[in-house]
Chain A
Amino acid sequence: MDEVYDVIVLGTGLTECILSGLLSVAGKKVLHMDRNDYYGADSASLNLTQLYRKFRSGQEPPADLGRDRDYAVDLIPKFIIASGELTKILVHTDVTRYLEFKQIAGSFVYRDGRISKVPSTELEAVKSPLMGIFEKRRAKKFFEFLQGWKDDDPATHQGLDLDKDTMKKVYEHFGLEPGTQDFIGHAMALYLDDDYITKPARPTYDRVVLYTSSMSRYGKSPYIYPLYGLGELPQSFARLSAIYGGTYMLDKPIDEIVTDSAGLFVGVTSGGETVKAKQVIGDPSYFGAGKEAEGGKVRVVEESKVVRAICFLKHPIPGTENSDSVQIIIPQNQVNRRNDIYIAMVSSTHNVCAKDVYIAIVSTIVETDKPELEIVAGLNLLGPIQEKFVSITSLYAPTADGRSDNIFITRSYDATSHFETVVDDVHDVYKRVTGETLVVKKREVEVQE
């Protein structure tokens, strides 16, 4: 460990692994370490042994769950939006060669006590019980407006300005009911709360367009999912990094982040040895998250908490047409909350569990001091639950941008149902670390025959 590296990366979560891969491809000498003996950190997929070690220390997994190695249980419930930014990076870096993807079979939304399919086409929208007949006509006009919008053609604007007018004004222009607004803002634009309504309409427009273009890409839902679980994603980027010379060390507890008298990053101490590098990137858990501040330096702050319940079922979720995988969104207004409740379910079709087992994760941003009660509306939709693993996770963000001390800290995985914010963080950190904007485009593919 006496070599000097350009960048040391701490934690093998998806954000860190994408960065590690991109930096190695860009020619940086990268050392990537993780305190765990597995890849993925907070974005890992665990087998049964690892899952029980984490949540039920000292307890063996029940035999009726089947073989340990058949399981890859995600710790964070997220899906990949087909036309989103993560897909672009997957294609750009060619790590798709290590991965296989399947569609998520359905996207549902909770309204008035029951769940309905989120319509993916106009035909489905017309049949959907989500809206009455007159509301359907209004909604149709709204979607035609979105589809027809051209920035440089005022005739398509209907007197509205996406950059100045609020989404509230747009909803009012089309006379959409609150329930329809819930559906558009939460099930399609995937906002977690209603703050977007009083802001300019442009981002909501972008998100609805992203949703519909993703939906049209493969047909059943806007989401895709990697076989063998989300933990395959960090592994594939770690391999990319390794192929471009990145050095990997798992099972390495980090004793200390070493800085000089001016507070600048010097190196990382592990097992009594210090490795030096110009810069360090790492997830918040390596920089004091959840611990008392040492030496007065607070590098990360808690922004919010998320409650997640990983539930093993022996049946598909009732009312989802026996789908092998679904997302269900419970908009906050429907259950008198400030934040939505999400359900993400996958099954043996995705090679993440034994046959006839279904893994649903119910999650939301914590609003009270009884987090588990806040997800009851979601748990109630699942039917009988075989096993339930509840966790309350703090979400951390860095207090500084790293430019002054060469310590670049990533953000915790948030409560959104997809990876778009993860990619935002990748772009942001990449720019601060390299001083260059990451340009995501298709590389020349190196075909070796």
Chain B
Amino acid sequence: MSKQYQFKLVLLGESAVGKSSLVLRFVKDQFDDYRESTIGAAFLTQTVTLDDQSTVKFEIWDTAGQERYKSLAPMYYRNANCAVVVYDITQTSSLEKARTWIRELQRQADPSIVIALCGNKTDLSARRQVSQEEARKYAEEEGLMWGETSAKTGEGVSEIFTAIAKKLPLTAPQASRAGSSARPAAGRAGVDLSQQSTPQAGGDQCNC
């Protein structure tokens, strides 16, 4: 049987660079021109199948807007295996912001985290402010993966996620990678709150 892996992927980047749109394209192959800030989705999942038929399931965490006023909780970075730091190729300032997020990741996240720098909105390349050379050079200096995407047309989107999947250290099946996922799953050491209690004979329920 082919192997399955699960990883937590966090999105970072300035507001309005297209983080949510990127994920929506990757997960549902949809795009919405007038997308409001993310509401209601705790996280999305999408699976990538690699050449050797092993599958990598991404559990993708969106910032839910908490990045806007430097209020992203440490929980967000906790046990993240990979991060996509998004900038808008038509906004130089958004690359500056991406650099800040990358420094934050290097400070807060696990040192083994795989980071991809992603220049979004290539459909607007007529208004390009950030050159490919500049971004690629920076990514190389920092040891990051790099790619450009358009959430609107879908260009480069699956490529960047697949590249991340290939780069992740597929050393152990997910079941034994305690802590790399945020959801209770079989084989984890913790306790599952949702499970029904196993009542003793007699008064099993709290009736208060």
Show the binding face of A for B, using Cβ within 8 Å. 37-39, 69, 82-84, 87, 90-91, 94, 96-103, 146-149, 206-207, 209-210, 212-214, 216-218, 224, 227-228, 232, 235-236, 238-240, 242-245, 247-252, 446, 448-449
Given contacts A102-B189, A249-B69, A250-B70, contact A446 B199 (CB under 8 A): no
Is the beta-carbon distance between A217 and B45 smaller than 8 angstroms?
no
Given contacts A97-B183, A224-B191, contact A212 B73 (CB under 8 A): no
Show the binding face of B for A, using Cβ within 8 Å. 37-45, 64-66, 68-71, 73-76, 78, 108, 179, 182-184, 188-191, 193-194, 197-208
Is the beta-carbon distance between A449 and B45 smaller than 8 angstroms?
yes
Contacts of A82 in B (CB 8 A): 191, 197
CA distance A252 to B69 in the complex (A): 10
Is the beta-carbon distance between A251 and B70 smaller than 8 angstroms?
yes
Is the beta-carbon distance between B179 and A100 smaller than 8 angstroms?
yes
Question: What distance in Å separates the Cβ of A354 from its nearest Cβ neighbour in chain B?
Answer: 16
Contacts of A97 in B (CB 8 A): 42-43, 182-184
CA distance A244 to B36 in the complex (A): 12
Cross-chain pair count, CB within 8 angstroms: 134
Interface residues of chain B: helix, strand, loop or mixed (majority): loop
Question: What distance in Å separates the Cβ of B81 from its nearest Cβ neighbour in chain A?
Answer: 15
Contacts of A103 in B (CB 8 A): 191
8 A-B residue pairs with CB within 8 Å: A83-B197, A99-B182, A101-B191, A209-B205, A209-B207, A216-B204, A217-B198, A243-B38
Given contacts A216-B200, A244-B40, A249-B69, contact A210 B206 (CB under 8 A): yes
Given contacts A91-B193, A213-B197, contact A243 B39 (CB under 8 A): yes
15 other contacts beyond A243-B40, A250-B71, with CB at 8 A cut-off?
Answer: A96-B184, A101-B191, A147-B201, A206-B208, A216-B200, A227-B179, A235-B73, A235-B74, A239-B75, A249-B69, A251-B70, A251-B71, A448-B41, A448-B44, A449-B45
CA distance A149 to B75 in the complex (A): 44
Given contacts A239-B73, A251-B70, contact A216 B45 (CB under 8 A): no
Is the beta-carbon distance between A216 and B198 smaller than 8 angstroms?
yes
